[in-house]
Structure 1
Amino acid sequence: METIIPITGRVKYKITLDPGVWIFDDRKLDLNTYFSETQKNDDALEEYTKSVSKHWDREIMEGAVYPPTLKTEVKFEKEKVLTGTFGIPFKPFLVNAEPDQTAKTFVIEYGNDDQVALPLEEASGLILGFSKDGKPLKEDGPLHVYYQDGSNKENPIKNVTGFKVE
């Protein structure tokens, strides 16, 4: 099983994806809850403002010391990483590859020469699953591909070998 997944075809930059390092990525999503939660538009400025506001409120309420609650939060996050099921949005990788303006189709290659073709616009909504119960997807991985609406949540595209922009 190859653990590096290429994005090829009509792109400016042919890039490779390594799911083994995504466990450390802040963009990771908890797949146990992702499809059941209502999705919202990500606004980076709004998220930053909320995080700074939360930090400011904590300093006002508890003082500018390292409160013991932060230590337990870090421990909880560490345990969550070791036991969680995670995915990551595909959109940033597709944007970095810079598809050609004339490209219309996105192909997911999996298994033994099987393919699924999607309109390129739908590809930016894909979620790439890379971990189940704290373990990498070795049996049928290294990636599982989920549609944004979760319609294939129970039966994702497995054994992904590459992505191609056409």
Structure 2
Amino acid sequence: MIVQLTGAVRYSITLDPTVWIFDDRKIIFDEAFNKKSQTKEIEVDELKNASERFNRELNLERIKPPVNKSISKYEREKILKNTYVMPIKDFLTTSEIKKEATQARILTTNGDIILSLDSLTNSLLLFAIEGKPVSVEGPVHLYFGDGSNKDNPIKGINKIAIE
């Protein structure tokens, strides 16, 4: 249930979609292709970040180390009912794609698919259906950021090779 990200990258990484359910970067599938919803979410996040910075500056002498917030029962139930996607952009940034790279080869159980780096960078990986890992043709399905393949995602992905 893992996907390797290799090839013309500085760091080859192994993606484990089974742990993304607890990642704050995940997006509810139904909201992923709704640009209006994403814009509103970004604005709310920016406001929240600004308010946290302000509070930190006022309370510099009382800073405490961060504490992992436990998930409430309501949040747990919500997580287990939704279908989620994860933007792949952060993983590509972490792997540090080499300058000579021009494309990505998606190795699937049904053959290889070639994508431009731009297309891959803006893509989303479906990793959970109703809170459970993708088991049919998983571990992830790839959706283009514009939603153009929403009805026909790339499935059965085993490896992403940057070329």
| Aligned AA (2:83) | T
For residue 7 of structure 1, give the secondary structure of its aligned residue in structure 2: strand
Offset, 1:128:
0.5
1:24 corresponds in structure 2 to: 22
The C-alpha deviation readout for 1:68-91, integer Å capped at 9, x for no partner, is xxxxx9443222101110011000
- The 1:48–1:37 alpha-carbon spacing in structure 2 relative to 1, beyond 3 Å, is closer
Matches within 5 A, 1:29-40: 29-38=27-36, 39-40=38-39
Paired position in structure 1 for 2:82: 84
Structure 1: gaps of 5 or more residues? 57-72
The number of equivalent residue pairs is 145
Which residue in 1 is equivalent to 2:6? Answer: 8
Confirm or deny that 1:146 pairs with 2:146.
Answer: no
Q: Which amino acid aligns with 1:153?
A: K
For residues 101-134 of structure 1, the C-alpha deviation after alignment (integer angstroms, 9 at most, x for no partner) is 010101111114x112111122110101100112
User: Percent sequence identity over matched residues?
Assistant: 39
Q: CA RMSD in A?
A: 2.6
Hey, which bits of structure 1, 4+ residues long, moved more than 3 A? 39-44, 51-54, 73-76
Alignment-derived partner of residue 115 in structure 2: 118
TM score, norm. by length of structure 1: 0.78
- Confirm whether residue 133 of structure 1 aligns to residue 124 of structure 2: no
Structure 2 distance, partners of 1:41, 1:15, is 32
Give the counterpart letter for 1:99 in structure 2: I
Return the letter of the residue paired with 1:9: G
Partner of 1:97: 95
